[in-house]
Amino acid sequence: MNFNATLIGQSITFVFFVWFCMKFVWPPIMNALEARKKQIADGLAAADRGKHELELAAKAAADNMRDAKSQAAEVLAQAEKRAAQIVEDAKNAAKAEGERQLAAAQANIEQEANRAREGLREQVAALAVAGAERILRREVNAQSHADLLNQLKAEL
Amino acid sequence: MAEAHTSGEYIKHHLQNLTFGQHPDGTWGVAHSVEEAKAMGFWAINVDSMLFSIGLGVLFLFLFRLAAKRASVGVPGGWQNFVEWIVEFIDDSVRGSFSHRNAMVAPLALTVFVWIFLLNLMDLLPVDWLPWIATLAGVPYFKIVPTTDPNVTFALALSVFFLVLYYSVKMKGPGGFFAELAFQPFQSKNALLKLVFMPVNLLLEGVSLIAKPVSLALRLFGNMYAGEMIFILIALMFGGGVLLGVFGGVLQWAWAVFHILIITLQAFIFMTLTIVYLDMAHSEHH
């Protein structure tokens, strides 16, 4: 074993190699490894998040479906109620109209009957006067007897 | 090759670094023996160790830089995937053993692990191949496993040791670091007793502090040197006839397979201890 300047040369070489490795070899490789690790972790996290979001979306969809169904049922019930209402209203209106027309017809009939009765009454009075004329066989003064005849007419 | 030498020369030849420096007579050149290398003193350099360690280090940084540039969030390709696997393995080790925040420790651990692994990996090349080519090219010695050169392992261990000292002082302050060395393991509330214990504590803690880089360097050096030695001894058999040669081939294969475990383990141990020592430097004791 004899030592010489190789010792110093080797030390310098060693220091230089370590410096180079520290500067240009280790950091890029380590960074790449770290970045890859992070990317993988991020990917896994994103997958988890996606799964979670899918679950949420499925749940929201089911909720929406249920809401829509209940809304539709509500609308349907309302429509049915409204239809029944309309039918009922129409029925009532028709009934009222019928009654009104009935009343009018009855009034009309009564009026007709009164008019007929009046006519009959005048004819009976004329017949009575004509009868009296025949009985008296002579013409009485119609004018002097008008009061009497009118009184008779009113009594009939 | 082997026939031209005696066994002893062959082994010596294989354990000799290509040392370049100034001979005692003032000329510059390559040392042709251990003695000549020693005579050059400190200001000589093991050209083969430097060449292979720098070459392999550059290869490591180039290949990893390639992956770093292409690093993206998308699906990684083959090489990319392999690099990320190693980086994550290192990152896990650092997270497991290092409980503080320091952006330097993980890249340091990565460099230590991969670089030492590559340096050790040269051990698996048959011991004669590259030295033989080098001899053809006129280079007398060529030791291709840099971690069998104590200069290399001690350079690594001492660099780690200086980091430990730096962070010990930075995190605990000079006083805190001194207190750690001087007031344990023997503790006392009494100021006088404290003073009495201090030299003993300093001795014990000092030894354990110095033992860290020394053991770190010697463990790696010893394992790789011994492994290389066994390869060389096995390679000696190839000169001993057909039967011994075949037996040597089987042995070499078996030892190489086992050695794959050793080189990985040694690189891992060096990295783990580096992390642990730095963690200790960051932590307040007691």
pLDDT at res. B1: 41
Residue A60 has pLDDT above 50, yes or no: yes
Q: Identify which has the larger pLDDT, B85 or B75.
A: B85
Q: What percent of chain B has pLDDT over 90?
A: 41
Comparing CA positions, the residue from B50, B159, B30 lying closest to residue A6 is: B50
Q: Mark whether B223 is an active-site residue.
A: yes
User: Measured between CB atoms, does B158 come within 8 Å of chain A?
Assistant: yes
pLDDT at res. B3: 46
User: Measured between CB atoms, does A42 come within 8 Å of chain B?
Assistant: no
Query: What is the pLDDT confidence band of residue A142, given thresholds at 50, 70 and 90?
Result: low
Task: Give the nearest partner residue to B61 out of A25, A28, A36, using CB atoms.
Answer: A25
- 47-76 of B, contacting A, C-beta below 8 A: 49-50, 53-54, 57, 60-61, 64-65, 67-69, 71-73
pLDDT at res. A137: 67
* CA count, 13 A, side-chain hemisphere, A40: 8
- Find the catalytic residue in B33, B159, B215, B283: B215
User: A44 burial class (0-12, 13-18, 19+ CB within 10 angstroms)?
Assistant: exposed
Query: What is the pLDDT confidence band of residue B275, given thresholds at 50, 70 and 90?
Result: very high
pLDDT at res. B191: 81
User: B33 burial class (0-12, 13-18, 19+ CB within 10 angstroms)?
Assistant: middle
- Whether residue B167 contacts residue B108, with contact meaning beta carbons closer than 8 Å, is answered with no
Span B242-266, pLDDT tens digits = 888 888 889 989 999 999 999 999 9
Q: Is B139 helix (H, G, I), strand (E, B) or coil?
A: coil
The C-alpha of A41 sits at a distance from chain B's nearest C-alpha, in angstroms, of 13
H helix count then E strand count, chain A: 3, 0
pLDDT at res. A149: 76
Give which of A2, A11, A36 to mutate to test B binding, by max B Cβ within 10 Å. Answer: A2
User: Measured between CB atoms, does A40 come within 8 Å of chain B?
Assistant: no
The C-alpha of A40 sits at a distance from chain B's nearest C-alpha, in angstroms, of 10
Mean pLDDT within B275-280: 93
Structure tokens at B23: 């001979």
The answer to whether the Cβ–Cβ distance between B71 and A6 falls below 8 Å is: no
Domain residue spans of chain B:
49-282
Q: Is B21 helix (H, G, I), strand (E, B) or coil?
A: strand
User: Measured between CB atoms, does B270 come within 8 Å of chain A?
Assistant: no
The C-alpha of A52 sits at a distance from chain B's nearest C-alpha, in angstroms, of 27
Q: What is the mean pLDDT of chain A?
A: 90
Radius of gyration of chain A (CA): 62
User: Measured between CB atoms, does B154 come within 8 Å of chain A?
Assistant: yes
- Whether residue B63 contacts residue B69, with contact meaning beta carbons closer than 8 Å, is answered with no
Q: What is the mean pLDDT of chain B?
A: 87
Mean pLDDT within B64-93: 88
- Whether residue B183 contacts residue B286, with contact meaning beta carbons closer than 8 Å, is answered with no
- Whether residue B105 contacts residue B275, with contact meaning beta carbons closer than 8 Å, is answered with yes
Which residue is listed with tokens 């209106």? Answer: A93
Structure tokens at B94: 């650092």
Q: Identify which has the larger pLDDT, A79 or B238.
A: A79
Query: What is the pLDDT confidence band of residue B57, given thresholds at 50, 70 and 90?
Result: very high
Distant-in-sequence, close-in-space partners of B4: CB < 8 Å, separation ≥ 6 = none
According to DSSP, the β-strands at B44-46 and B28-30 are unpaired
Residue B219 has pLDDT above 80, yes or no: yes
Task: Give the nearest partner residue to B73 out of A2, A14, A39, using CB atoms.
Answer: A39
Distant-in-sequence, close-in-space partners of B147: CB < 8 Å, separation ≥ 6 = B116, B119, B120, B123, B153, B220, B221, B224, B266
pLDDT at res. B285: 64
- Whether residue A7 contacts residue B50, with contact meaning beta carbons closer than 8 Å, is answered with no
Residue B23 has pLDDT above 60, yes or no: yes
How far apart CA B30 and CA B137 sit, in angstroms, is: 14
Span A2-59, pLDDT tens digits = 788 889 999 999 999 999 999 999 999 999 989 999 999 999 999 999 999 999 999 9
- Whether residue B144 contacts residue B125, with contact meaning beta carbons closer than 8 Å, is answered with yes
Span B100-157, pLDDT tens digits = 888 899 999 999 999 999 999 988 888 777 888 887 877 778 888 889 888 999 999 9
The answer to whether the Cβ–Cβ distance between A14 and B71 falls below 8 Å is: no
Q: Is B161 helix (H, G, I), strand (E, B) or coil?
A: helix
pLDDT at res. A141: 65
Q: Identify which has the larger pLDDT, B6 or B231.
A: B231
Mean pLDDT within A110-132: 91
Q: Mark whether B219 is an active-site residue.
A: yes
The answer to whether the Cβ–Cβ distance between B87 and A22 falls below 8 Å is: no
How far apart CA A142 and CA B2 sit, in angstroms, is: 194
Residue B70 has pLDDT above 80, yes or no: yes
- Whether residue B140 contacts residue B248, with contact meaning beta carbons closer than 8 Å, is answered with no
The answer to whether the Cβ–Cβ distance between B42 and A5 falls below 8 Å is: yes
Residue B163 has pLDDT above 70, yes or no: yes
C-alpha B100: how far from chain center: 25
User: Measured between CB atoms, does B235 come within 8 Å of chain A?
Assistant: no
pLDDT at res. B124: 86
pLDDT at res. B6: 76
In chain A, the residue whose alpha carbon lies closest to the alpha carbon of B90 is: A26
Comparing CA positions, the residue from B183, B203, B206, B208 lying closest to residue B195 is: B183
